[in-house]
Amino acid sequence: MRTMGALVKRNVKLFFKDKGMFFTSLITPVILLVLYATFLGNVFRDSFQMNIPETVKLSEELIDGLVGGQLISSILAVSCVTVAFCSNFLMVQDRVNGSIKDLRMSPVKASFLAAGYYVSTLISTLIICFVATGICLLYVAAVGWYMSLSDVLLLMLDVVLLVLFGTALSSIINFFLSTQGQISAVGTIISSGYGFICGAYMPISSFAEGLQKVISFLPGTYGTALIRNHAMQGALAQMELQGVSGQLVESLKDALDCNLYFFGEQVSVGGMYLILGGTVTVLISVYILMNGLKKKQ
């Protein structure tokens, strides 16, 4: 246990000391912030107001709370995965700079080292994502707070699950990487691409139908939807209380990716948890299996 503790401490320290890797992991959330601050926030705000009947008067705070919920859910959904990838690049860095040779000289098994990378990535990513969650909640509180305590707790659970998912996925992909060039390539693809496919930049509902179907096969999508639900359902419920029809609220949920459909069938929140939890279990099992089957040259 102490050995694992020391290994995890080493990995976590290395991640936070490597400023390049640390800031790379925050590129996508920063892009999102800039996009919302410059125009995306206004686009969504105008879009909500246009869709609300003129007979219903919603407060500015409620609209801001909804847009804020959308912003923070996008940031958190992306961060949980991109930060995990960047943090987990340490396993590749160790191969590139030869540190892994030194670690493997010790009597600990390769699978133990692999578990060390997983746990340390999990911890580093959770630290960053929980700090980000705290900042996001403070932002929502400033613009318009409609979340209940259970929403906050479930949001935390969503973050943990999505971090587990991001860590497991990055562990499997990084397992095959061994050069600095590959790190850069995968880092760039994940940082720029994941924001699109998880619907952080634009809602999945605005994509073409074929693309929506493809994306419905990606388990991370359901993690994003969970975060969206728990970040925005308070504001949406308040809308209903202020006179917006249930039908309109449902169509807003569709547009905001709170509701996800798998070949026309709506996936319940419980179903989303099952999909994400099941995927995490499968990915971790695959990672363990890969390490178990890995042979020396």
Partner 1 sequence: MVDIIQIKDLNKSFGDIHAVQNLSFCVKEGDLFAFLGVNGAGKSTTIHILCGQLQKDSGSVIIDGADIEHCPDDIKCKLGVVFQNSVLDAALCVQDNLQSRAALYGLTGPAFDQRLTELSKLLGFEDLLKRPVGKLSGGQRRRIDIARALIHKPRILILDEPTTGLDPQTRKILWNVIADLRKNEKMTVFLTTHYMEEAAEADYIVILDSGKISAEGTPLELKNKYTADYIMLYGVDEAAVKLLNVEYEQVRDAYRLTVPNTAKATELIVKHPEVFVDYEITKGKMDDVFLNVTGKKLEGGAGK
DSSP 233-260: HHHHHHHHHTT--HHHHHHHHHHTTSSE
Q: Shortest approach of partner 1 to residue 98 CB, angstroms?
A: 4
Taking Cα atoms as reference points, which of 40, 73, 85 lies closest to residue 189? 85
Please give the backbone phi and psi of residue 265, each rounded to the nearest 5 degrees, phi first.
-90, 125
Residues of this chain, 102-121, that bind partner 1 according to CB under 8 A: 102-109
Q: Is 180 in the site for partner 1 (CB under 8 A)?
A: no
Rule CB under 8 A: is residue 18 a binding residue for partner 1? yes
Size of the site for partner 1 (CB under 8 A): 26
Residue 162 tokens read as: 């999505």
Indicate whether 20 belongs to the interface with partner 1 (CB under 8 A): no
267: enclosing H helix or E strand: strand 265-267
For partner 1, the closer CB: 57 or 296: 296
**C-alpha to C-alpha distance for 98 and 241, rounded to whole angstroms:** 61
Contact 129, 79 (CB under 8 A): yes
The reply on whether position 99 binds partner 1 by CB under 8 A is yes
Judged by CB, which is closer to partner 1: 123, or 260? 123
Assess 95 for contact with partner 1 (CB under 8 A): no
Binding to partner 1 in span 187-226, by CB under 8 A: none
Rule CB under 8 A: is residue 294 a binding residue for partner 1? no
Distances in whole angstroms, Cα of residue 245 to Cα of each of 105, 147, 238: 66, 20, 11
Q: Which is nearer to partner 1, 96 or 255 (CB)?
A: 96
Residues 43-82 that bind partner 1 (CB under 8 A): none
Distance CA 163, CA 94 (A): 22
* Cβ–Cβ < 8 Å for 64, 36: no
Element (H, E) at 20: helix 19-25
Using the contact rule CB under 8 A, the part of the chain among 2-10, 74-82, 174-182, 238-246 near partner 1 is 2-10
Nearer to partner 1, 94 or 158 (CB): 94
Residues interacting with partner 1, by CB under 8 A? 2-3, 5-7, 9-10, 13-14, 17-18, 97-99, 101-109, 295-297
